Amino acid sequence: MQTRNDPICDDFFIAKCKQHNLKITPQRTAIYNQLSRSKNHPSADLIFQEVKKPFPNISLDTVNRTLLTFSEIGIVDVVEGHGNPRRFDPDKKSHHHFYCIRCGGITDIYNKEYDNLKTVEEIEQKFIVLSKRVVFNGICDNCVGK
């Protein structure tokens, strides 16, 4: 459980906020802490449910806008929504995703070969590639046979 007194202990978060003149408020810290602790690529609503425990006055809109600000300044990633609410990813290291079409679960996959995936010429000529991620859609081990 997140409490108001949780220390700010993430240098990356602090550095990014300072770099972009984003004030480090207890609410923002709580939102970041909540996201960085979760492994399930939560939506803004899921984070809101947790953060409103220590901060009952916070609104879903504030949480949503804060997360979008975080993603704009490179603190977190927005991941594939698949038509569902936007999901967020605190892991900035290169990694890939397996998306379960039944439960909506997103599993992280770490693989050097995928990291080094070559872009085809068509992409290189047309676009500027900032990052690459391999996304698999399918049925996860929890949902198989259900």
For 119, residues 6+ apart whose C-beta sits below 8 A from its C-beta are 129, 132
Judged by beta carbon, residue 137 or residue 142, the one nearer Zn ion is 142
**The two structure tokens encoding residue 28:** 């923002």
Among 105, 107, 114, 134, binds Zn ion (CB under 5 A): 105
100 is in an annotated binding site: yes
Which H or E run includes 13? Answer: helix 11-19
- Please name the residue ranges forming H helices in 41-100: 44-51, 60-72
From 21-29, 53-61, 67-75, 105-113, span contacting Zn ion (CB under 5 A): 105-113
**CA atoms 61, 66, 29, 25: torsion sign:** negative
CB burial of residue 19 (10 Å; 0-12, 13-18, 19+): exposed
Judged by beta carbon, residue 73 or residue 103, the one nearer Zn ion is 103
140 is in an annotated binding site: yes
| Nearest distance, CB of residue 33 and Zn ion, angstroms | 17
Among 6, 10, 80, 108, binds Zn ion (CB under 5 A): 108
The pattern of x and - marking residues 61 through 100 that bind Zn ion according to CB under 5 A reads ----------------------------x----------x
Q: Check if the beta carbon of residue 127 is closer than 8 Å to that of residue 119.
A: no
35 binds Zn ion (CB under 5 A): no
Nearest to 88 by CA among 109, 71, 105, 74: 71
| Nearest distance, CB of residue 19 and Zn ion, angstroms | 23
- In the annotated binding site, the residues are 100, 103, 140, 143
Residues in touch with Zn ion (CB under 5 A) = 89, 100, 102-103, 105, 108, 140, 142-143
